[in-house]
Every structure is written in C-alpha cells, then in structure tokens.
Amino acid sequence: MAASTLTWLCASCLAVFLGVSTFILKWIHSIRPTPYMDEIFHIPQARHYCDGNFTHWDPMITTLPGLYVTSYLMLALPAQLLSFKAGIFCTTYALRCTNLFFSTGNVAVLFLLLKQMHPKMNSNYTFLVAVTLGSFPVLYFFTFLYYTDVASTFFTLLMYLLHLKQCNILAALTGVVAVIFRQTNIVWVAFMVGMSIQHTILQWMAVQKKNVKSQRKQDLVLLQTFFNLVYTNTKRNRKAVLELLITILSKSWSYFVVCFLFLVFVYVNNGIVVGDRTHHQVALNFPQIFYFLMVALFFSSPHLISTTKITNWFKFSVHQRMWFAGFAAIAALAIDRCTYVHEYLLADNRHYTFYVWSKIFRRHFLVRFLLIPFYWYAIFQVCVDMKKKNIFWKIIFTICVLVSLVPQKLLEFRYFIIPYLILRVNMPLPTPTWKMCLEFLLGMFINALTIYMFAFRTFTWPGSNEIQHFMW
C-alpha cells in the first residue's frame, strides 16, 4: 500500500473513532455533568493545577500527578499564553475531553505497534485489530470520565513501541511519564528491561555458534543451552560472559536508571502509594491471576475457544493427568488460603465487581473451586498461542503479570488492561478475518451494554437523592 494511501486510511479511521467517541462523551456528559466516583477527587485536584496551585494535594488521591499536569499543559497553559483566565477552561467537560486525545492515541499507537510486530500484515486488517484493542471495553469506558487509565495505557504502549524501534532512551523517558500517571507502570518499565536482556542473550548465544533458531521451539533446551554456555564460558572464556553483561548494561541502562529512581522514590515516600494508604495495602492475592485469565479468555474467545482447541485441551488434560492434578491442587490451595476481599469490593454496589463477588463467589463458595478447569483451559490456550515466543520472553512476561496483579488486594478489572493488551498484541496474527470481526463485535456489544447500563439503569441509595450509575 502506498504511503499516501496508508496515511489517508489512518487519518480517516482515527477521525471516525474520534468522532464517535466525541459524540458518546457529549451524550454521557449531558446525562452526568457533575463529577462521579473518583472524579470527585480528580477534577478538583486538576482545577488547582489549572489555577497554578501546584502545592495542593488531596490526600485521598493515591496516584502521582501525571493526569493533572497533562490537563494543565493541554488546557490551562495555552489559555495563559493567550492571556485568558486558565481556570475557566478546566471545566468538567473539558477535563473529560482530554481522554479523547489519549483514547484516539491508543488506537494509533496500537496500529504502529502491530505494524512493527507484524510488518507483512495487511494495513486494513491491522487497523481492525488496532480499533478492536483500542476499544477494549474495560479501557474504552473510561474515555468518557476523568480517570488515569486511558492516558496511563497510552504512555505504556508508546514506551513499548519505542522500545521495539530500539529508541531505548526515549522509551525510558516515556516510561517515566507512564509511572507518573500510575506507579504500577514501573512493572512494564521492568518488562522493557527484560525484553532488552532476552534479545541480547539470544544474540550472544548466536555469536557462540549455537543453533538457537532450531532450539527456540524447545523451551527447556534453549534455557539449558544458555546456562551451559554461561557455565562453560565462566570457566574457559570469562571475557565472553563479561561482554554479555556489558552489552546488557549498554542497551538497558536507561531503563535501569528509571527503575533505580523509582526505588529512591519508594524509599523517600516510604511506599509506592501517595495519599490514602490505609485502603491500598499489599497482599499476596494469587487468585487475581485466575480472574485475569478469565477476562482474557472472555474477550479473546473468538481466538481461544473452538471445537479444535477444546478437543486438544481435553486430550492434553487426559494424557497429562498429573499436570492437571498438580495445577488443580495448587489453584485450590491458592483460592483457599490466598483469597482476599477488599472492603471496597463489598461496600460499593456501583461496580460490576460487587455483583461478581456478592452474587457468585460469596454466595456460592464452591464456584471458586468449580472454575479451576476453566482456569486450566485458559492457561493452556494462552500457552499454545504463546508457543512461538522464546522461554525468556515467557518468563519475563509471567513475572511482570504476577508482580502487577498479585499484590493487589482489590478485585478491579482496570488492573487487567495493560497486561491484557500486551498479551493480545503478542498473540498470533493474522487470524481469520471473521474471528477478528467477531472479537470487534463482541467488544462493541459490551461497550454498548456498559454505556447503556451507565446511562439508563440509574438508581439511588436509601436516604440520598443523588443519581448513581453502574460502571466497571
């Protein structure tokens, strides 16, 4: 496809996406023109920044001020340069509109990310995938409220794109911005460190004249080969091991600097959370991984569920009964001993997680254990789809997902956004067009349903006249 045609296609698709999102935002704002949920903290804080008051901080806010700084730069600063009073531009509607930019940016970055990872893929198909993932329901809903999720995702995905283009310093700086939006994004900066290390290791192994390509399909063989090479060179040629370490540092130093500065921040701040810490305590909530797998299985169901896939899973489970039995035992132990229920989960009936927990997991205790075969199915299918990834990538991604999700005591679908999108862009592409269309339609249906629930299925609490809305 000619460059001019591709540019026109990109601009047209992004313009349509932006136009539809703008229409929805205006409509939702007409329904709920006042701050809602966490907006009651975010919007007043942003207005302080717009007024030039950068010292004020609401102690109920637990994230760094990336969202408010961005709003200041996008709304207040241009107004000041034009000699207008900046505060009048930071209305609830204008602040919500800043997420339109980042939501459209997510589609653009996903398109470029997919083109980088799958350069031979048809551009029309690539845009279908980008729009599908950019409108991932848990993410897309927050385009219409003043939350950190959309911008946080944008900068994390942009960091990933820049890393793949080998712009490591720029990627690290983008990672700093992502962390300023949400501290847990440091995990994905660490993911870039791991990506750099695994790429360097594979290059180093190739230089050692080992047939790495043929061994990539055998994870344990590749891992064993690496350790054998390190062991052998440590005894006979320490210079080669030293060169490996130097190369890793030279390619990853910018990410290491960001991680080090984050550790300094944690030390000075006496923790990761700023503001209200009492309700954001670390817990080893291992079932979070199972919840994430079910979310991934549901939204990727056109690709992960089929007669053939179910048959292959069943055959594997029968032939490898010990693997399934071992997983079931570990999962049952994790569910029994490591399930945590955050006080927010059962205190706020405006979130879908309230109903998932109160109507299913709490009311029917055995359901937690009856879902183990479904968790096993999800893990099996994800592993099958990731079989072309080398063992180093798999280990790094698994560790990052664990670190990102397990310490979270609260069951919150928003925590799954970035892990899901990184998993999804690394799944095999292209797949049959009808499957992508089905995934797109599934996402659009869920988006339409959640927006409908927010707009039309309102309710009030006893003793209060304020209208409440359902949301993720």
pLDDT digits (tens, 9 = 90+) for 129-175: 999 999 999 999 999 999 999 999 999 999 999 999 999 999 999 99
pTM of the model: 0.94
Whole-number pLDDT of residue 362: 79
SS3 175: helix
Indicate if the pLDDT at residue 381 is higher than 90.
Answer: yes
Q: How many CA atoms lie within 13 A of 384 on its CB side?
A: 15
Rounded alpha-carbon distances, angstroms, from residue 222 to 16, 98, 218: 46, 46, 6
Instruction: Name the band, by pLDDT with cuts 50, 70 and 90, for residue 217.
Output: low
CA nearest to 156, candidates 126, 127, 192, 130: 192
pLDDT for 210: 58
Q: Quickly count: other Cβ atoms within 10 Å of residue 300's Cβ.
A: 21
Taking residues 359-384, what's their average pLDDT?
Answer: 91
pLDDT (0 to 100) of residue 471? 95
CB-based contact 128:432 (threshold 8 Å): no
Question: Which of residues 364 and 63 earns the better pLDDT score?
Answer: 63
What is the pLDDT, as a whole number, of residue 241?
87
Segment 121-130 shows an average pLDDT of 92
In this predicted structure, what is the pLDDT of residue 328?
96
Per-residue pLDDT band at 181 (split at 50, 70, 90): very high
Whole-number percent of the chain with pLDDT over 90: 74
b/e per residue 235-261 (b: at least 16 CB within 10 A): eeeeebbeebeebbeebbebbbebbee
Query: pLDDT category, 87, cuts 50, 70, 90?
Result: low
Report the pLDDT value the prediction gives residue 167, as an integer from 0 to 100.
95
Check whether 378 has a pLDDT greater than 80: yes
Average pLDDT over residues 119-128: 91
What's at 321, amino acid-wise? R
User: Using CA atoms, how far apart are residues 62 and 84, in angstroms rounded to an integer?
Assistant: 31
214 has pLDDT over 70: no
Q: Is the peptide bond before 430 cis (omega within 30 degrees of 0)?
A: yes
Interval 4-17: pLDDT, tens: 676 777 788 899 99
CB 411 within 8 A of CB 360: no
> What phi and psi, each to the nearest 5 degrees, are found at residue 7?
-60, -45
Q: How many CB atoms lie within 10 A of CB 464?
A: 8
Residue 62 tokens read as 């637990």
Rounded to an integer, the average pLDDT of 438-444 is 97
Please give the average per-residue pLDDT across 44-65, as a whole number.
93
In angstroms and rounded to an integer, the radius of gyration of the C-alpha atoms of the chain is: 23
Q: In angstroms, rounded to a whole number, what is the distance separating the alpha carbons of residues 32 and 378?
A: 38
**Rounded average pLDDT over 247-253:** 93
The stretch 359-366 carries a mean pLDDT of 82
Q: Indicate if the pLDDT at residue 216 is higher than 60.
A: no
**Residue 402: HSE in the Cβ half-sphere, 13 Å Cα cutoff:** 8
pLDDT grade for 236, boundaries at 50, 70 and 90:
confident
Residue 37 CB burial class (10 angstroms; 0-12, 13-18, ≥19): middle
**pLDDT value for 8:** 77
Q: Which of 63-77, 159-173, 348-362, 366-380 has the lowest mean pLDDT?
A: 348-362
Burial (CB < 10 A; 0-12, 13-18, 19+), residue 219, is middle
In 3-state terms the chain splits into helix, strand, coil percentages (rounded to 5) of 75, 0, 25
Beta bridge partners of 183: none
Apex 97 CA angle, 95 and 101, nearest 5 = 120
Residue 64: pLDDT over 80 = yes
Write out the E strands in 110-188: none
Terminal Cα-to-Cα distance of the chain (whole angstroms) = 39
- Is the model's pLDDT at 273 over the cut of 70? yes
Provide the residue type at 206 as one letter: A
The candidate with the shortest Cα–Cα distance to 260, out of 354, 176, 348, is 176
The three-state secondary structure class of 281 is: coil
Length of the chain: 472
- Contacts (Cβ under 8 Å, ≥6 apart) of 316: 380
Q: Mind listing the pLDDT tens digit for each residue in 397-436?
A: 999 999 999 999 889 999 999 999 999 999 999 999 999 9
